Amino acid sequence: MGSSLSDGLETSAVSETSAATADDTLLDFRDVDVFYGEFHALQNVSYRIGRGEIVSLLGGNACGKSTTMKSILRLVKTRAGSITFDGRDITRASTAEVVRLGIASVPEARRVFPEMTVEENLLVGAHTRSGRARSRAVLADLDAQYSLFPRLFERRTQQAGTLSGGEQQMLAFGRALMSRPQLICMDEPTMGLAPIIVDQVLESIQRINRELGVAVFIVEQSAELALQVAHRGYVLTNGVVAMQGSAEELLADPRIREAYLGAAVAA
Ligand SMILES: Nc1ncnc2c1ncn2[C@@H]1O[C@H](COP(=O)(O)OP(=O)(O)OP(=O)(O)O)[C@@H](O)[C@H]1O
Ligand SMILES: [Mg+2]
């Protein structure tokens, strides 16, 4: 409904009207502006993520994808607009607060703690939870991650830095799940992985979503990959949301190729 979406660029698209007011909205990112100095990195960006939904934000290099994720995690300041999570205004919250409220992240390039073991990395993910570090609930969740990712159990005493790329991605997912999130934000989760590992990662994303009911926000350059698992998507071009729609609508739209490669959509 924002004017930035009304310039003839949107697909046949999903209506934001009913969605924005429905109870099933988990994250409502509305009319957000972010500046780095003079540079206007996000311009009136709006999108929403429903409970239990997988939503992808697509776009080429330097269009503002990571900035969008960092805004949710309160790692960058927003100049205008609002971010609401589970009915609460988190626009001015701290990172620790949003994690406690139920938002977890898998950052760009995974970033596990290389010197720590697999299990120590997983326990770090539970650090915002109250109580003892190895409480019964935390240990139960550790077991849950091991049954979701048996490879992590096999490797639990291994230094995380020596895991393969795919295993590190599983560890980053497991660590994010240890905070018991309602929403996991993932920054380019398939980047740099071999095709067979990419398939495993995509399958893990679907399992996290289906079996645990966790909503997933995937920031991704590859529309083909992200839209295999996402229910809906948004396309960001130079800091502006240029298109949005269901995964099927976006995959069928010839403009998507131009858009996610970073070329101007409005030709
Ligand atoms: N801390 C910062 N200070 C200044 N400029 C920044 C900062 N962080 C990001 N930028 C700039 O903002 C723009 C968007 O960056 P962002 O990291 O959000 O892009 P991206 O879409 O994630 O790109 P990529 O696909 O390459 O990861 C880029 O031009 C980048 O150089
Ligand atoms: Mg990025």
Question: Within a 10 A sphere around the Cβ of 100, how many other Cβ atoms?
Answer: 14
| Structure tokens given for 11 | 């697909």
pLDDT confidence tier of residue 4, bands split at 50, 70 and 90: very low
Q: By mean pLDDT, which of 57-71, 73-87, 188-202 is the weakest?
A: 188-202
> Quick one: how far is CA 185 from the chain centroid?
2
Distance separating alpha carbons of residues 210 and 99, to the nearest angstrom: 21
- Ligand lying nearest the CA atom of residue 260: 1
Task: Show the tokens assigned to 6.
Answer: 């009304």
Contact 91, 81 (CB under 8 A): yes
Report how far ligand 1's centroid is from the alpha carbon of 158 (Å).
33
Atom 7, ligand 1: residue with shortest CA distance: 36
Is residue 133's pLDDT more than 70? no
- Could you give the domains of the chain? 3-260 (3.40.50.300)
- Give tens-digit pLDDT for 227-267: 999 999 999 999 999 999 999 999 888 888 665 544 444 43
Is residue 71 in contact with ligand 1, taking CB distance under 6 Å? no
Distance CA 102, CA 28 (A): 14
The two three-digit tokens of residue 221, written as one number:
């350059």
Ligand 1: residue whose CA is nearest its atom 4:
36
Residue 67 Cβ inside 6 Å of ligand 1? The answer reads: yes
DSSP single-letter state for residue 59:
-
SS3 253: coil
Mean pLDDT, the chain, as a whole number? 86
Query: Tokens 């990712």 identify what position?
Result: 149
